[in-house]
A and B are shown apart, each in its own frame.
Chain A
């Protein structure tokens, strides 16, 4: 009979673990002449959801594989729960689950057999939780992997990631192949995990997904961290399109004094520009004039991140 393994949910919020659940300091990883990760530092704080972003080949998966001690850093330090990944890998992996981006599961095994096998390595599992997750993910546990679609295989991986009540979930491209309903269910699972005290490192290409759940994002580009901050901070780095209609002629001279405005165009009563940075100075100038209507487009994380990818190109 399987038994419950891992850490009780009530224990996750204790102060026994350091504030930084993951601490990466000067991590370098080379594959021969290829510099996959070139000296990055960042932290994942306790009970936060960190979005880990970057284009293909940015070094996200390499970094994650260093966290799990699947790769050995060329230089730098990686600590999880304050423990060294090279020395204390077993203790670290007992407290986390990992969903790999490139998912390869044993073809002949059913999901139930896979869960049972990994359960033997983790000291058991909660069969009630397994059934609950299978129902929520609409997953047939009795079918062999070779008969499952890529989306259903991804559901198996999600079930394995959320089955044990661990302190850290490391999710590498978790929703590839999932339909929108399942993506929504995934986000619910992430929020539930966080609510019970877990920390989540979410590597994803789906920026809308990251935008919806992440507290902070770290953006990698060509093996370097090019941004590290909250989603709002990142959004503020991108230009917003501003369009203002005045009762009379647009006050071009006054608008010229507003910092962060670019691509200004005045045409009679209409003024358009792009704004980078805080909106306060612009509003103060507009308040002194007779504004009829105003449109400021919501800055989009995707644009912000794509901008970072481009501007940081080596």
Chain B
């Protein structure tokens, strides 16, 4: 990679490093605090009994099955909703901040007035989004693995890593969607609105559609179902789930890139 190409990736990453650090520490703190409460839950039957009294659909929708086991505890508290939601949100925010928001503010024009192609500038920023999402995912895994031992939470590391990677890919998919929207129209509220709308909508589809006989067959349309439908903390995941998230993420980023090279750059 040439120095110029490297600068197109690393400079946007440098510009967003504070935000990325804040995301990493926030999600990391959530993971550590959650794990820190495990010893208090372990072995208590009261909460398990309470959850067992909930309707089965609600238990399933919010991942509360087996809440008294390490896998059930982590799934219900972190990996069924919060971690995938936050990784998706972060990836959308990175994509919006490095493309639509920069263009809307007129700062992208300073870069595009240099001897770089539009496609290279956009690709550099897309790679920066991917890199930050990947690094956030790694930090989540690191916080989880490092806090499991001192708090006595025993869970298979391979299943945990598979789950975290699937959550990261789910985030990357939504980052790719945000890049596609930003490539088509440089309006930050639209990029955030569509990105977060699809993220939350996907959760609703995956969590609530199975409660309805009529809607249950459509739950498989949600990327959340592709990522977490196999209950990876317990069962691992089939390879197609990684491809189903990663390939559309890349395709959506390419859609954004092509669209960006074909339209006018917005003036400040």
Interface residues of A (CB under 8 A from B): 61, 65, 68-72, 89-91, 93-94, 97-98, 100, 102-106, 108-109, 117-118, 120-123
Contact = CB atoms under 8 A, between A and B. Distances in A.
B101 to A, nearest CB: 11
B91 to A, nearest CB: 22
Contact of A70 (B8, B105, B117, B264): B264
Interface string B9-31: 00100010000000000000000
B43 interface: no
Interface of B: 3-4, 7-8, 11, 15, 105-107, 109-118, 262-265, 267-268
B267 A118 contact: no
Given A90-B117, A91-B115, A100-B113, A71 B7 contact: no
A126 B264 CA distance: 32
Contacts of A100: 106, 109-110, 113, 268
B117 A89 contact: yes
A91 B116 CA distance: 9
Nearest to A89: B117
A159 to B, nearest CB: 13
Contacts of B112: 68, 70
A242 B116 CA distance: 56
Contacts of B7: 117, 120-121
A123 B15 CA distance: 20
Contacts of A72: 262-264
Contacts of A118: 110-111, 114
Nearest to A62: B267
Contact of A102 (B3, B8, B115, B267): B267
Contacts, number: 71
A90 B11 CA distance: 19
Contacts of A70: 109, 112-113, 264-265, 267
A213 to B, nearest CB: 22
A121 B2 CA distance: 10
Nearest to B115: A94
Nearest to A109: B15
Given A61-B267, A121-B7, A123-B4, A106 B113 contact: no
Given A89-B117, A100-B110, 14 more contacts: A65-B265, A70-B264, A71-B265, A72-B263, A90-B115, A98-B113, A100-B268, A102-B268, A104-B107, A104-B109, A106-B15, A108-B15, A120-B11, A121-B8
A102 B106 contact: yes
B119 to A, nearest CB: 10
A114 to B, nearest CB: 8
13 contacts: A65-B265, A69-B118, A89-B117, A93-B115, A93-B116, A98-B113, A100-B268, A104-B105, A104-B106, A104-B107, A104-B110, A120-B7, A121-B114
A242 B166 CA distance: 84
A120 B263 CA distance: 26
Contacts of B115: 90-91, 93-94, 121-122
Nearest to B15: A106
Contacts of A117: 7, 11
Contacts of B107: 104-106
Which 10 pairs show the lowest CB-CB distances between chains A and B?
Answer: A104-B106, A94-B115, A120-B7, A102-B268, A98-B113, A121-B114, A70-B265, A93-B115, A71-B264, A104-B107
A33 to B, nearest CB: 16
Nearest to B116: A121
B111 A121 contact: yes
